[in-house]
Structure 1
Amino acid sequence: MLDPNMQTQLKRYLANLREPIELVASLDDSEKSAQTRELLTEIAALHDMVSASFDGTHARKPSFIIRRASDAQRWVRFAGLPMGHEFTSLVLALLWAGGHPPKIDADLIEQVRALEGDFEFEMFFSLSCHNCPDVVQALTLMALENPRITATLIEGGTFQDEVEERGVLAVPATFLNGESFYNGKMELAEILSKLDSGADDKAAEKLNAKDPFEVLIIGGGPAGAAAGVYTARKGFRTGIAAERFGGQLQDTLGIENLPGTSYTEGPKLSDDLKKQVADNAIDMMDLARATQIKPASKAGGMHEVVMANGAVLKSRAIILATGARWRNLGVPGEAEYRNKGVAYCPHCDGPLFKGKRIAVIGGGNSGVEAAIDLAGIVGHVTLIEFDTKLRADEVLQRKLRSMPNVAIITNGQTTEILGDGSRVNGLVLKDRASNEERTIELEGVFVQIGLVPNTEWLRETDLELSKFGEIVVDDHGATNLPGIYAAGDCTTVKDKQIVVAMGSGATAGLGAFDYLIRNEPVEEVAQAA
């Protein structure tokens, strides 16, 4: 199961084990069980503190638990093979069970240990889902730190019958004590905020205790990270408050148009940016959502940003880099069947539609790339474009047209998504030339029709927004309010691309630098007078 390179790497990691660990597998006669046996045998052979046994009696087969030999009450179960994006999760589970300390905020670990009650988590993932590892790793940590928490992490492709039975049509899908808990990516702090009623108050207390910043950036995508690096390197006390560091990068796989980088993936690029932010001593406040901005009354004064948990952050200059999100179709049935056949991430959810009929809405680069990826997994793809022609790059169009299980419909408008109450079973399509409507039977709809700026929370301010809700900026990234700058996909910058966002972030950072050196803090001016 493990090639020589993987074995070498894993052996090096296992050298960090401090206590013996046990792998206990429940297997049957299937091929996946044979692969599981092979994997665990190979792992056990790499370190004398790891033992593997195959006498488990759990109903889910193949599955195996990882536990510390001295404490059988703390364990995590993997059902199916945790390879692909989840191999790192497997490695971390081995290390944490073996006493290697996790690189997690100590306050969060204490919150996990202090949770009262019994929590039985089950979480479905797919091997191609780049959002799933965060949830897998968070639940793994919780199960290994608190004996009243269990986590069973299920690879949906191996347990397809259970996926069907429980109506799992989007991953990550998390259940708690048998009931649906959350669909989508969650980090440890988010899970704790749902379980611990005092989590938000604790987070607010930490934010309120922070000294005022010279530059505060709202948003942690490519634009926000670039802006932060530029202002921090100018010597200014810089903070980044992000609802989700990385932004859309976390939902992007192949990136091949970033100069100097032939190929990378969004989550990796996000991790690289996060490391660079840390290297520049920027105060990183993740999972921090801004809800209100109170501009300073005069140049050089303190702006205030109110967070969702009630905390207030202050700064002499602010850079808004809140990014954008996928645009909804806005038709009947879309909201009702979200995560029940309506999906927005083909990489995460595509494997759940193996062999089925699906539609992709949108003929730009994102839509055509999604259709190409899905065509290799699903039974049939119908690509629907509102315009009279596809808008994707010609090279992508040629690839799509070469695929035998793809149908392309242009000048088509999706007017309704249909379902049986529990999942999607079709959509209504109108021919924009003839106005005739017809129903297409299918099991999934992937929406890829562009972006909406994350600026709703700014509409009640004096900040100038375009008719599309974008923040209006000049060539220096400045808004109409002194000391407030903006960058990236949330602005009127024309092209919504990673490299453009990075450039606009740098521009806004330099603009904020120029503002700060030309405007003394009003508090200092008052004292001098």
Structure 2
Amino acid sequence: MLDANLTQQLKAYLVNIKQPIELVASLGEDAKSRELGELLGEIAALSDQVSLIDGDDKRKPSFMIRRVGTDIGVRFAGLPMGHEFTSLVLALLQVGGHPSKAAQDLLDQVRALDGDYAFESYFSQSCQNCPDVVQALNLMAVLNPRITHTAIDGALFKDEVDRRKVMAVPTVFLNGELFGQGRMELEQIVAKLDTGTEARVAKAIDAKEPFEVLIIGGGPAGGAAAIYAARKGIRTGIAAERFGGQVMDTMGIENFISVQHTEGPKLAAELERHVRDYDVDIMTLQTATGIIPATREGGLHEVKLASGASLKARTLILTTGARWRQIGVPGEDQYRNRGVAYCPHCDGPFYRGKRVAVIGGGNSGVEAAIDLAGIVAHVTLIEFDGQLRADAVLQRKLASLKNVTVLKSAQTTEVIGNGEKVTGLTYKDRNTGAVHTIDLDGIFVQIGLVPNTEWLKGTLALTKHGEIEIGHHGETSVPGIFAAGDATTEPYKQIVIAMGAGATAGLAAFDYLIRLPAENVAQAA
């Protein structure tokens, strides 16, 4: 199962196990059980601290990683390979007593949770968002004896997935009831369980001293702005819903200069580590709802947060990014995560052998159609325009696929379902006006981005598309407020460009601060 390079890496990691663990394997007679048995045998052979024993869990193939002589452990149903291999390695280490690098106050909060929590999470090996959820729940199960977690490969347990109507990953159940879908950080999960968290965090935020530079948003632009500002030795903070932004939802990245290939979550993790090398106050799970601009140059801007707290800063850098654009037709919201999806890499495996549609003929839409064509029975690509807008090389690849139909000048008008899941869609032929219906099992929406700027209307200048209008140095229409990245009028929405724009905004904010008259700063303090 493991190649020589991976075997050597894993052996080096397992040296960090401090307490003996056992792999409790529940295997059947099928091929996947044999694969899992081979994998577990290879792992056990790499360390004297790891043993392999038989188990009798109802899910086969599955295994538990358990600290010997205790009930501390986590369970995987299926093979944790692909994106979940890292989850497997971390579980081995943490069950074996290797400490987590999470913040100590967060770890203490998990240990203090009062209640019995049985988590089950469904993942796919191609899902780049799933490992964060799996790893967070695994860590919670290791820290608190009243928490259990089973990570389930949905592709291997189709009957279970169908019975529970799981059509997107990650999907998490708590004590048998749906808990959440989509990527979740450890902080988010704990906050949902500990209802007093938000109030405590809001109180702490309110007590913070004003920042010289406060960045709203934690994507590539925000991270770059923070690094460049902090290197100037000025008080710098980041307030964001999650660190990494939309790059966390990006699968393959092959145009980040000097890095031939990486993936969004990996890039985001490296970016966060880099930012934390500096004295930057990172505040996640924070949603900005409004800005009260300073009344005079050099004064303090105030940022209102959804929690009721507020932050103050002499300069702001807005890097709120963008989100996937919705079709905006009847049925789309109703069937979100029940056949309407936005991540083909994450949710594509659930449609193996089925019929799906991809909405959008740009690069992302055509790439999605190509990827899905290798999994599903048939793909219908629907493009509003009279021609596809994807790169020529992608269009040639698409045209070579026998199970793809391309519909141009087609306007999606409705998502159809049976109350539980998607069964099809209707579209209008824009040339003839005729309305057609397609029977489908899933719809993947890939029609571009919408800037996350609704909360800024009336505060500073926005374009008719909602983009923040900026100058050459990232300056906005309000003195002391700068912006960078996909939320702005920068025409090219690329990671490397967002980083450069963030660096520009960070330097511009510093330049603004050092040129303020001393008396203005003193009066505004």
**Class of the TM-score when normalised by the shorter of the 2 chains:** over 0.9
Instruction: Supply the distance in 1 between the matched residues of 2:408 and 2:481 (Cα, whole angstroms).
Output: 42
SS in 1 for 2:156: coil
Give the count of matched residue pairs. 525
1:211 is aligned to 209
SS in 2 for 1:525: helix
Matched, 1:13 2:5: no
Instruction: Supply the distance in 1 between the matched residues of 2:417 and 2:101 (Cα, whole angstroms).
Output: 44
1:482 is aligned to 479
2:44 is aligned to 44
SS in 1 for 2:83: helix
Instruction: Supply the distance in 1 between the matched residues of 2:212 and 2:102 (Cα, whole angstroms).
Output: 27
The correspondence of residues 162-311 of structure 1 with structure 2, limited to 5 A, is 162-311=160-309
1:318 is aligned to 316
Instruction: Supply the distance in 2 between the matched residues of 1:108 and 1:209 (Cα, whole angstroms).
Output: 19
Instruction: Supply the distance in 1 between the matched residues of 2:522 and 2:234 (Cα, whole angstroms).
Output: 19
Deviation at 1:526, TM superposition (A): 3.6
Asked if 1 retains the 8 angstrom alpha-carbon contact of 2:299 and 2:524, the reply is no
Deviation at 1:520, TM superposition (A): 4.2
RMSD: 1.4
Instruction: Supply the distance in 2 between the matched residues of 1:70 and 1:203 (Cα, whole angstroms).
Output: 38
Match of 1:91 among 89, 92, 106: 89
Deviation at 1:359, TM superposition (A): 0.3
SS in 1 for 2:297: coil
Instruction: Supply the distance in 2 between the matched residues of 1:202 and 1:497 (Cα, whole angstroms).
Output: 37
The one-letter amino acid paired with 1:473 is I
1:436 is aligned to 434
TM-score by length of 1: 0.97
Deviation at 1:97, TM superposition (A): 0.6
1:61 is aligned to 60
SS in 1 for 2:243: coil
SS in 1 for 2:218: coil
Instruction: Supply the distance in 1 between the matched residues of 2:103 and 2:66 (Cα, whole angstroms).
Output: 22
Instruction: Supply the distance in 1 between the matched residues of 2:419 and 2:303 (Cα, whole angstroms).
Output: 42
SS in 2 for 1:488: coil
**Against the structure 1 CA distance between its residues 60 and 510, is the aligned structure 2 distance closer, same or farther, given a 3 Å change threshold?**
same
Unaligned segments of structure 2, at least 5 residues? none
Match of 2:469 among 469, 472, 475: 472
SS in 1 for 2:506: helix
Describe the superposition over 1:185-229 as per-residue Cα deviations: whole angstroms up to 9, x where unpaired: 001110111111111122223323332211010011111111112
2:101 is aligned to 103
Describe the superposition over 1:313-350 as per-residue Cα deviations: whole angstroms up to 9, x where unpaired: 11110000000000010101100000000000011001
TM-score by length of 2: 0.98
Matched, 1:394 2:392: yes
The correspondence of residues 63-82 of structure 1 with structure 2, limited to 5 A, is 63-72=62-71, 74-82=72-80
1:156 is aligned to 154
Describe the superposition over 1:143-170 as per-residue Cα deviations: whole angstroms up to 9, x where unpaired: 1111111111100111112111211110
The one-letter amino acid paired with 1:42 is E
Instruction: Supply the distance in 1 between the matched residues of 2:519 and 2:301 (Cα, whole angstroms).
Output: 12
Describe the superposition over 1:456-503 as per-residue Cα deviations: whole angstroms up to 9, x where unpaired: 1112x4211111111111111111111000111111111212122122
Instruction: Supply the distance in 1 between the matched residues of 2:50 and 2:229 (Cα, whole angstroms).
Output: 48
Deviation at 1:279, TM superposition (A): 2.0
Asked if 1 retains the 8 angstrom alpha-carbon contact of 2:363 and 2:391, the reply is yes
The one-letter amino acid paired with 2:239 is A
SS in 1 for 2:198: helix
Runs ≥4 residues deviating over 4 A: 520-524
Deviation at 1:527, TM superposition (A): 9.7
Asked if 2 retains the 8 angstrom alpha-carbon contact of 1:301 and 1:522, the reply is no
Deviation at 1:27, TM superposition (A): 1.2
Asked if 2 retains the 8 angstrom alpha-carbon contact of 1:300 and 1:522, the reply is no
Instruction: Supply the distance in 1 between the matched residues of 2:73 and 2:306 (Cα, whole angstroms).
Output: 34
1:499 is aligned to 496
Describe the superposition over 1:253-281 as per-residue Cα deviations: whole angstroms up to 9, x where unpaired: 11122222222211121122112211233
The one-letter amino acid paired with 1:131 is N
Deviation at 1:311, TM superposition (A): 2.2
Instruction: Supply the distance in 2 between the matched residues of 1:435 and 1:31 (Cα, whole angstroms).
Output: 52
Asked if 2 retains the 8 angstrom alpha-carbon contact of 1:473 and 1:491, the reply is yes
Deviation at 1:445, TM superposition (A): 0.2
Describe the superposition over 1:48-105 as per-residue Cα deviations: whole angstroms up to 9, x where unpaired: 1111101x12111111111111312x22110000011011101111111111110111
Range moving further from structure 2, 503-512 or 39-48: 503-512
Matched, 1:411 2:412: no
Range moving further from structure 2, 491-500 or 180-189: 491-500
1:24 is aligned to 24
SS in 2 for 1:71: coil
